[in-house]
């Protein structure tokens, strides 16, 4: 059975995750201007070629904690899994240029690693080889 390429967009609020989904995958994400949160909850958008998971940002401007965001993403993956498996082909990590060495990125990397361990239990170390 053919599965479209699945992208998981993750990163801080206001960096263009929703806009990128529209442009790359031609999926109907909701976008706004400015640095406020566009995605209020993790959402899976699908078309014939792509599946795009748009997520609320870490360090959210609307007050959602990073742990709540992480669990929201996990619930979405569980909801759309087949026999307990959800396949993600690419993780798109959106980072602000001025945050490259910040503590926030270390926290985000930890959440990404936890998601990968949930999705790909057998070889989650491969994520960091790309």
Helix (H) or strand (E) holding 22, with range, is: helix 17-25
The values of phi and psi at residue 90, to 5°, are -140, 135
Supply the pLDDT for residue 62.
72
| Mean pLDDT across 59-82 | 86
CATH class of 5-121: alpha beta
pLDDT, tens digit, 9 for 90 and up, residues 24-44: 888 887 766 555 555 678 999
- Rounded distance, CA 122 to CA 104, Å? 27
- Rounded distance, CA 5 to CA 77, Å? 15
Q: Tokens standing for 57? A: 């940002």
DSSP per residue over 59-119, as a string?
Answer: S-TT---HHHHHHHHHHHHHHT-BTTB----EEEEE--GGGTTSHHHHHHHHHHHHHHHHH
Going by C-beta distance under 8 Å and a sequence separation of 6 or more, which residues neighbour residue 70? 111, 114, 115
Q: What is the mean pLDDT of the chain?
A: 81
Q: Tokens standing for 34? A: 């400015």
Q: What is the pTM of this model?
A: 0.81
């Amino acid at each position: 059975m053919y599965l479209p390429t699945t992208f998981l967009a993750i990163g801080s609020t206001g960096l263009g995750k929703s806009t990128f989904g529209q442009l790359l995958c031609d999926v109907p994400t909701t976008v706004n201007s400015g640095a406020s949160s566009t995605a209020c909850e993790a959402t899976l958008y699908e078309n014939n070629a792509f599946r795009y998971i748009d997520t609320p940002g870490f360090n959210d401007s609307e007050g959602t904690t990073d742990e709540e965001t992480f669990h929201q993403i996990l619930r979405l993956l569980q909801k759309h899994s087949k026999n307990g498996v959800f396949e993600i082909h690419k993780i798109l990590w959106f980072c602000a240029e001025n945050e490259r060495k910040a503590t926030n990125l270390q926290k985000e990397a930890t959440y990404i690693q936890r998601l990968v361990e949930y999705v790909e239990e057998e070889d989650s170390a491969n994520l960091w080889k790309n």
